[in-house]
Structure 1
Amino acid sequence: MDDVVSPGGILRHAAARYNDKVALVTAARTMTYGELDTESDRVAAALNARGVRPGQPVSLYAQNRWEWVVAYHGALRAGAVVNPVNVMLTPEELAFVLRDCDAAAVFTSSAQAAEVLALTRDLPQPDGPGITVVAFDESPEGAVGFAELLADDGPVPAFAPDPAAPCTIGYTSGTTGHPKGAVQSHRAVLLNCALTATMHGRTSADVVVTALPAPHVYGNVAINGTFLAGGTVVLMERFAAAEALRLIGEHSATMFEGVPAMYAMMLADPALATADLSSLTRCTVGGQTIPLSTIERWQSRSGAPLIELWGMTEIAGLGTTHALHAPPVPGSIGVSLPGVEVRVADLDDVTRDAPRGEPGELMVRGPIVMLGYHGNPRATAETIEPDGWLHTGDIASMTDTGHVFIVDRRKDMIITGGYNVYPAEIERVLAAHPAVAMVAAGPVPDPVKGELACAYVVLAPGAHTTEEELLAFAGRSLAAYKRPRAVLFVDDLPKTSTGKIMRRELIKRYER
């Protein structure tokens, strides 16, 4: 990797070694490393010809597809700062992101292009001709067709990035107001891909099936970490359990990468009975805490270890995981990536470490930490301490071996009668019940105790149980104050674009 200094060099590096090898498989197209490299060059040349200059943000707003991957690498080669946008954002939210980062161009699908064009006309562009909108499919009037960019045979800009300069701006979910743009350096993004690939033992022999959204840092590391090693990515447009199981068998996949809900859904799908998972050598899971029972069931069915990990937008991907050949520590998110520091801080005094084994806030320091929030020095100062430690907002504990166990998100904590109850504890217990396919826990208001815990349960196909039975089941493992006070049976759980369960949406969607 000595000739790769930024994520924009990953494909060039891989194409020099594996030019004719299949790099990317999607439902629409299969591409070699040579083809990805060539078409990324054409996008870079076309952006340069249309006035996009080094340092200007280029937004990508679409579902997983081969064009998204080409646009990402093409924008980086043009010297642009990539702004990967969650496809679930509303037009109003997208307008805020484009305005906040001063995007010079937006890549999107034809289905969204007209809406994107309409909102970009109202955005101020004092320093340029306006935002260029590129449509991946048919382009409406006013937009540029992606095929037109690929026809460009102009010179590729000679861009040599400073490793410490901005590479991407990834916006947070904005659950407490407007989203914040975490600015990542070229070094941070590249290191995260490289260190993750190393910890998970990726090689050119790997075939990775994933439906993780490319705009998300976990998805980006899964894709580009595999490219860095010369492996093959089988990229789903969106997750569907039966299709994921089919693709694993069809492509003799060595890895599947996803979030807990994906594994729960595959385990509950009737297609699992005949699925061929024999090629899997390891899988990864992150994004949320996962019940041990789900890990055990997947490992038993697949025969492959399920490697837990933890990360966030503000660190360009992973911060902790397990080394492939290290002894397993079930339930732990692993240890810090090489060259990265993690600690568990006292909840009342961030300058002190919490005692070993006691819960505190997980904090991270090192070269993968963001440069800051774009245009928001106040939020940056609130998140990154003067000595470089980043607040994660996760409650965790640490063992003497440096293994970290996530307790829960600090903001998801349920406070009932003065006691702290963590939804993940309830979810881990109820997920072990044979009738439960998926479960999430959240608060419901109570006039006496302030909040009570409620469990929202999706039953496994053909399974039957009652609220009373599940409450009794939880009572065998949980202290009285931690037990859910109600169970609601639902058809599905609200999820983000990555498949993570949105606990805070539960009370809004399902009323007793």
Structure 2
Amino acid sequence: MTTTSTPRFRSPLHLLEQSVQRFADKPALVTSTRTLTYRDLDTEASRVAAALLAGPVDAGDTVSIYAQNRWEWLVAYHSALRAGAVVNPVNVMLTPAELGFVVQDCGATAIFTSADKADEVLTALADLPHECAVIVFDEAPDGAIAFTDLLSYAGAGAPVIEADPKSPSTIGYTSGTTGHPKGAVQSHEAVFLNCALTATMHARTSDDVVVTALPVPHVYGNVAVHSTLLVGGTVVLMERFEAAAALGLIKQHRATMFEGVPAMYSMLLAELAASSSELDSLTRCTVGGQTISGATIDKWESMSGAPLIELWGMTELSGLGTTHSAHVPPVGGSIGVSLPGLEVRVSDLEDPTRSAPAGTAGELMVRGPLVMLGYHGNPEATAEAIEPDGWLHTGDIATQDTSGYVYVVDRRKDMIITGGFNVYPAEIERVISAHPDVALVAVGPVPDAVKGELACAYVVATPGATPTAEDLMEYAARSLAAYKRPRMIRFVDALPTTSTGKIMRRELIRIDAGPDADA
């Protein structure tokens, strides 16, 4: 495999200009509408940056990006950095009201979006207390700027801007499951290091072709793309995930990697069961975002012949925090070890200053250069999240063995308390997902007058299969203690997901469910 020299910069600001020196005419990004070389990306990002500085953006401003995956998104991202701006990648699933809050909170002076979102963006931002230019990737309506005008800018090129590695690079907003979302401010160093360390742990090289549908506004999607561009690989970027299309792209481009979340692999396996596809080019794949069952990993590795590398991360880390090294045999059920330079420990649930004994569940905590600078304009939330000695609360319940491998139990906030017992949905999901008639499963709480909450499993059946609630409850009883078993099974056609494909457990109770059964 081809090896490359190690870059010496510490910011995503210079990633493209460094890569273009080594891989100028090599394909960097492939989308359904266009293939761009490294030179193309570099040239267009520089031209748009100059246009931004000549127009609505000054160095130090914040620039938002609100659109689906597309090549223009990546150009906008790098042009904003080159203009000396802080980038605010926005989840495209946010409502106009939520978008308005984010743009006002971060003070963005420009926002990139697509034609299908342009009218609602203009409406959502009409009452902002500050000016924010709307730049549209496609045909621009009145009151907006056409992206093509920036691409054809004929003025002087963007100046070379040097950024303090410790200064803000990105503001990534959390999902906001309670109250308003919080903007995690990530430094240039944190974003770059996450890409570099991810590339190192996953043994990425310029020979790699990576297929992904992960949303680039999300830190996992961003790192999947930029850790590949950092080493001169090629990214095949899907606008949205669709299983058959993903398998087709893997075959067409002889992809060496696919990157996704657990639900994507379940859908890929269901598609493979109904058709055939060539996956022999894959050398390794990655999965993160939520816990994944061992059965799903085994099925994928058997079907693809490629190891499936588990990882864990969060917005407040600008990407990954733990993963497995591509050259080390994986430890089943573990999310791996900490990235180099990052400290990871499991703290006592009652006293975060104390570490829990090996093998005992506690809260996963991290410390090091990948940790966010804080929540934008919210010192109170920052103080709650980061201890005075720098340890970040992740909100994940985990255990750690004596070798440093971490095992996530579940999200602390997703824990179900039934009859005084703590029940973790992920544990139930891992068991039920191993049933051959189950394509997807998610577990959430339903209220109960006696026990407070009951665990309900929402199941999407494998195509052609007709499992019964009794079958699945009996299956779960073989592996789970009585208090951990689901008390209800509901069969549904689909599960609510985020833009990354992660299942939204808190939305499960809103499902217009099919037949259900009580245990």
Category of TM-score, reference length = shorter chain = over 0.9
Give the residue type in structure 2 aligned to 1:83: N
Q: Please tell me whether residue 199 in structure 1 is matched to residue 201 in structure 2.
A: yes
C-alpha displacement at 1:120, in angstroms? Answer: 1.9
Q: Please tell me whether residue 44 in structure 1 is matched to residue 49 in structure 2.
A: yes
Give the residue type in structure 2 aligned to 1:498: T
C-alpha displacement at 1:508, in angstroms? Answer: 1.4
| Within-5 A mapping of 1:248-327 | 248-270=250-272, 273-327=275-329
What is the distance in 2 between the residues matched to 1:159 and 1:362? 37
Q: Describe the superposition over 1:362-393 as per-residue Cα deviations: whole angstroms up to 9, x where unpaired.
A: 00000000000000000000000000000000
What is the distance in 2 between the residues matched to 1:227 and 1:253? 15
Look up the match of 1:89. 94
Look up the match of 1:107. 112
Q: Please tell me whether residue 5 in structure 1 is matched to residue 7 in structure 2.
A: no
- Contact 2:7–2:18, Cα closer than 8 Å, also in 1: no
Aligned to 1:269, the other structure's residue is in SS state helix
- TM-score w.r.t. structure 1 length? 0.98
- Contact 1:55–1:166, Cα closer than 8 Å, also in 2: no
C-alpha displacement at 1:510, in angstroms? Answer: 3.4
Look up the match of 2:409. 407
Of 228, 237, 248, 2:230 maps to: 228
Look up the match of 2:139. 138
- Contact 1:439–1:456, Cα closer than 8 Å, also in 2: yes
Aligned to 1:274, the other structure's residue is in SS state coil
Look up the match of 1:22. 27
| Identity percentage of aligned residues | 69
- TM-score w.r.t. structure 2 length? 0.97
Query: How many correspondences in the alignment?
Result: 508
Q: Please tell me whether residue 150 in structure 1 is matched to residue 151 in structure 2.
A: yes
Look up the match of 1:493. 495
Of 176, 184, 197, 1:174 maps to: 176
C-alpha displacement at 1:327, in angstroms? Answer: 1.8
Q: Please tell me whether residue 330 in structure 1 is matched to residue 335 in structure 2.
A: no
What is the distance in 2 between the residues matched to 1:69 and 1:198? 22
Look up the match of 2:375. 373
Look up the match of 2:469. 467
- Contact 2:456–2:488, Cα closer than 8 Å, also in 1: yes
Give the residue type in structure 2 aligned to 1:427: E
Look up the match of 1:79. 84
What is the distance in 1 between the residues matched to 2:367 and 2:261? 25
> Which runs of 5 or more structure 2 residues have no equivalent in the other structure?
1-5
Of 180, 184, 187, 2:186 maps to: 184
Give the residue type in structure 2 aligned to 1:280: L
Q: Which moved more, 1:220-229 or 1:323-332?
A: 323-332
C-alpha displacement at 1:116, in angstroms? Answer: 1.0
What is the distance in 2 between the residues matched to 1:272 and 1:29? 30
| Within-5 A mapping of 1:117-132 | 117-125=122-130, 130-132=131-133
Of 364, 378, 389, 1:362 maps to: 364
> Which runs of 5 or more structure 1 residues have no equivalent in the other structure?
none
Give the residue type in structure 1 aligned to 2:370: I
Q: Describe the superposition over 1:302-329 as per-residue Cα deviations: whole angstroms up to 9, x where unpaired.
A: 0000000000000000000001011210
Pairwise CA RMSD? 0.9
What is the distance in 1 between the residues matched to 2:405 and 2:218? 25
Look up the match of 1:54. 59
Give the residue type in structure 2 aligned to 1:388: G
Q: Please tell me whether residue 216 in structure 1 is matched to residue 218 in structure 2.
A: yes
Aligned to 1:187, the other structure's residue is in SS state helix
Query: Which structure 1 residue ranges, 4+ long, deviate > 4 Å from structure 2?
Result: none
What is the distance in 1 between the residues matched to 2:167 and 2:269? 43
Q: Which moved more, 1:153-162 or 1:181-190?
A: 153-162
What is the distance in 1 between the residues matched to 2:25 and 2:390? 43
